[in-house]
Amino acid sequence: MTDHTASAAALSADGMPLKRSLNRALRRQKLRAFVLIAPLLVFVLFTFLAPIGDMLFRSVENQIVSETLPRTVKALADWDPASDAPPGEAAFRALGHDLVIAVERKTHTRLGSRLNYEASGMSSLLRSTGRDVEDIGEDVSAALGALDPAWTEAATWVDLLADPAWIAEQAAWSASGNRSGEPAFRLSDTASSALPDTAEIYGSFARITQQENDRSPTRQDPWHLVAITLVEEITATPSAAQAFQGDHALRLAAIAQADLPATDFVAAFGASNDRWATPTPWAVIAMYSAPYTPGYFLNAVDLGKTPDGIAPRPVEEQVYILLFLRTMWLSLTITGLCLLLGYPVAWLLANLPSRQANLLMILVLLPFWTSLLVRTSAWKVLLQRQGVINDVLVWIGLISDDGRLVMINNQLGTIIAMTHILLPFMILPLYSVMKTIPGTYMRAAKSLGANDWSAFWRVYFPQSVPGIAAGSILVFILAIGYYITPELMGGARGVFISNRIAYHIGTSLNWGLAAALGTILLLVVLVLYWVYDRFVGVKNVKFG
Amino acid sequence: MKIKTLLGATALATLPLTGGVAFAQELPACESCADSMVLMSWGGAYQASQVAAYAEPYAALTGVTITWDEGSNEAVAKMRAASEAGNMTYDLVDVEGPDSQRACDEGLALEVDFDAVLAAGDDGSTPTDDFGTSGSIINECFVPQIVFSTTFGYRTDVAAWNGATPDSLCAVFDLETFPGMRALEGRPKKNLEWALLCDGVAKDDIYDVLSSEGGVDRALAKLDTIRDSVVWWSAGAETPQLLADGEVVIGSTYNGRLFSAIVEQNQPIGMLWDWQVFDYDGWVIPEGLDDARMNRVMHFLNFATDTQRLADQAKYISYGPARGSSQPLVSTHATLGIEMAPHMPTNPDNQKNFLVNNIEWWADNQDEVEAVFQNWLTR
């Protein structure tokens, strides 16, 4: 705006260079404009863009696997998902650890649902093993109890592993008679350095007991997993016992000498479900362990990851491409029908004397102002087998009572109802463009020798194209995302992709896939818009 | 207005049984409790029965404001969304048994100590025993209210049937004797079991067959035989409507909805109790309530699930109370005055053949089977 450079001599009234003064004034103006739109901007940002962004982000987000099974993911890092055998014992052990914690936190069912999106069977596998995993090591706990009854008491474990300062705080809290707000558990430094694995597991146990179950670790028997870990750790390094004093040192030394059997996690998992002895579930965990995944997007286009790379899903699971194509095809049909029906109406609106045109306009707008649900339900009443249209056809003898037409719960129902509902969105832009085409052009064409058709086709129609473009793009974009009318009218085969998105949001709770499908739908609309811009030009679109 | 007058009648009807003094004893003051609650339920006739049987009486006794959200068919999704947002908007959620399992498994619902929270039965039994007699304790989170069943209703005036009346479930799959459209729920649960029963599988083998390789496909193949004659419903109110309009000639829905259509609205519809599937409906307490709201919920729950209140509910809708001690108190319909017992799914005449929803099997396999079924439906 200030592109012609002012000479150094050009000063404003207060002695400042003119350019600076002008800039300042402009800045103030811009600032004022910004302040004026700021409420709307903030509103749109927080209530529209942020939630949409957050939802779309779910289409790639996959932290749940590494958060729920951190040890397993680590243990599987070196394992090749394409191999024919399950991973080694370390992975079973890691999964055993992770699952015990996940079951306590109740996160294993969510993980199961998540992995089941990728490979059918993972949900039931994790649920059934989740029920068994807490019993792994029951024999070790029993053996420890037999060796020294002190191990069956929660207090022994606390005394061995907790920070003495915490024990004192906890005792003071307990004596105060409070029922909530127990001090957060802390591990003792001795235990953490001498028995790191045991301390870590016990720390998880104490935290979960306090936070998730609202109980005190001083009163809860630790998981069998703590016993397993302790036995293994002390058997491997008997010297760790020397870090402790008094009874603890003796008890730990006794474990080291007792030579208790190691727990066989491979056998325990195999006993719970023989699928763990195959590489399949492990491959699924390994392939989907990254914090971000293309899995949902692959799923949304009927593809899936396999150990050998990306491959099409089994035929019976391929539905999304079909649904996208169906949505496109039905939307195009609806747009075409709207144009066919709307064009003459818009022409009448633009060319009738204003009295009749106003009446016609009211007839167009009245349904437009009526609730969407009411109109859809009205179509249901009209179109159903025992509905008005069929009744009339039977009454005048066009069809027999047994041969009533099926016009609902199929694609026809969706097309009819949506064409009616979207018709005003075609008529109004057409009308506003046609209103601006002077009638003199047609008369001029005719006076120059054109017949009615060529006057219309070569003079009037080209001028109405921007209206057609605006109406079509509006109707098509609205149609492609329609949900409620196909849901009510479409039956099983007349539904759109948005119905499937709603199903994944509300019923199957597969929000990641819903987000991926939504993102693709958004992209499709943007691409269509771009293509349209290339060929028709958005400049030519007129909404009025 | 109508509900108000109904309410007066209920309160009067219950007073002679429990006595004014007992009422006061039953409802001790609620200390440091929230003074409003948001309950999620199913809407329609069922929610109306809850309002009349215990929500309004409770509000009248305590002055608590109760707001209803009719979102129970997507309860788990809504609880999950509220929980992720860290703002639990519901105080108590009404769900079906399998959904309670899901909410409980995911940690969205709290475990309830029955004997500490709920009222003892009028016959002196502990809550655990009292609910236990009807087998309705299905997990630690679920406080059962009613036993309902999903069963079939049929038009009694179909000319094309030439006077035949469906008396067995397999009439649904018999397009020759019983031509016409059917209404089935657009979900796999129950449909697969029914399909297998009519494909010659014995009751005890159903879930073994479904678990076996190709079992689900076998059930879907049976459903394929009638697929072109099926309207798929998603809300329980659709089937009675479709039957009343003559859009379908036979269709599945909850028995209480059919009761309303047949008895209250006098529609030409008959009840086919054969192989009805029993299920439970009840409350779960969502995770993430603060202390005041929690106290209020516990206080309400104790009142709303006691022996008398559950029996009262059966005055408004033909669902069986989930407490053993409520059964003898089930009396007559609140406005029509007819005996409710013959319309209960648990009536011996009605349950010659029945299934009980296998909640554990469905909890384990829902994700898999649901996906297969939806794909089958779409193609």
Residue A493 scores a pLDDT above 50: yes
> Which is more confidently placed, A245 or B90?
B90
Cβ contact, residue pair B247, A386, below 8 Å: yes
A73's CB contacts (< 8 A; 6+ apart) are: A65, A66, A285, A286, A289
B13 and B134 fall within a common domain: yes
Burial class of residue A17 (count of CB atoms within 10 Å of its CB; 0-12, 13-18, 19+): middle
Highest mean pLDDT pick, A125-129, A239-243, A317-321, A330-334: A330-334
B242's CB contacts (< 8 A; 6+ apart) are: B181, B183, B231, B233, B248, B251
Which pLDDT score is estimated for A425?
92
B315 and B228 fall within a common domain: no
**Per-residue pLDDT averaged across A370-390, rounded?**
91
B224 and B96 fall within a common domain: no
**Which residues in chain B have Cβ-Cβ distances shorter than 8 Å to A323?**
378
Give the pLDDT confidence of A417-433 residue by residue, as tens digits: 999 999 999 999 999 99
B98 and B194 fall within a common domain: no
B37 and B183 fall within a common domain: no
Q: Which CATH number fits domain A320-540: 1.10.3720.10, 3.20.20.70, 1.20.1740.10, 3.30.230.10?
A: 1.10.3720.10
**Which residues in chain A have Cβ-Cβ distances shorter than 8 Å to B363?**
127
Cβ contact, residue pair B74, A506, below 8 Å: yes
Residue B8 scores a pLDDT above 60: no
Closest to B180 in 3D by CA, of B166, B195, B200: B166
DSSP B52-97: IIIIHHHHHHH--EEEEE--GGGHHHHHHHHHHTT----SEEEEEH
Confidence of residue A182 (pLDDT cuts 50, 70, 90): confident
Which pLDDT score is estimated for B364?
81
Give the pLDDT confidence of B302-357 residue by residue, as tens digits: 999 999 999 999 999 899 899 988 888 888 888 888 888 888 888 888 888 999 88
Which pLDDT score is estimated for A1?
44
Helix (H, G, I), strand (E, B) or coil at A9: coil
Residue A22 scores a pLDDT above 90: no
**Per-residue pLDDT averaged across A516-523, rounded?**
93
Q: For every residue of A120-182, which 3-state class applies, written as one string?
A: CCHHHHHHHHHHHHCCCCHHHHHHHHHHCHHHHCHHHHHHHHECHHHHHHHHHHHHCCCCCCC
B207 and B249 fall within a common domain: yes
CB A278 within 8 A of CB A86: yes
**Per-residue pLDDT averaged across B165-192, rounded?**
94
B211's CB contacts (< 8 A; 6+ apart) are: B361, B365
Question: Residue B267: which domain range?
Answer: 151-278+350-378
Query: Which residue in B76, B231, B376 is closest to A491 by CB distance?
Result: B231
Which pLDDT score is estimated for A544?
53
B123 and B162 fall within a common domain: no
Which pLDDT score is estimated for B20?
36
Nearest chain A Cα distance for residue B307, angstroms: 30
Ordered by start, the domain boundaries in chain A are 18-57, 64-134+268-313, 138-262, 320-540
B118 and B91 fall within a common domain: yes
B189 and B218 fall within a common domain: yes
Closest to B243 in 3D by CA, of B149, B158, B342, B150: B158
Instruction: List the single best residue of A316, A484, A498 to mutate versus B (max B Cβ within 10 A).
Output: A316
Confidence of residue B6 (pLDDT cuts 50, 70, 90): very low
Confidence of residue B23 (pLDDT cuts 50, 70, 90): very low
Query: Which residue in B106, B367, B378 is closest to A492 by CB distance?
Result: B378
The count of structural domains within chain B is: 2
CATH number at residue B189: 3.40.190.10
Nearest chain B Cα distance for residue A127, angstroms: 6
Confidence of residue B118 (pLDDT cuts 50, 70, 90): very high
> What's the pTM value of the predicted model, to 2 decimals?
0.84
φ, ψ of residue A4 to 5 degrees: the values are -85, 110
Check residue B168 and report its DSSP letter: S
Average pLDDT, chain A: 89
**Which residues in chain A have Cβ-Cβ distances shorter than 8 Å to B106?**
106, 109-110
Confidence of residue A63 (pLDDT cuts 50, 70, 90): very high
B68 and B121 fall within a common domain: yes
Which pLDDT score is estimated for B12?
38
The Cα–Cα gap between A285 and A291 comes to 12
> Which is more confidently placed, A255 or A14?
A255
B35 and B141 fall within a common domain: yes
Nearest chain B Cα distance for residue A506, angstroms: 6
Cβ contact, residue pair A317, B371, below 8 Å: yes
Residue A126 scores a pLDDT above 90: yes
Residue B233 scores a pLDDT above 60: yes
**Per-residue pLDDT averaged across B173-185, rounded?**
95
Which pLDDT score is estimated for A4?
52
Which pLDDT score is estimated for B144?
93
Closest to A93 in 3D by CA, of A268, A286, A285, A280: A268
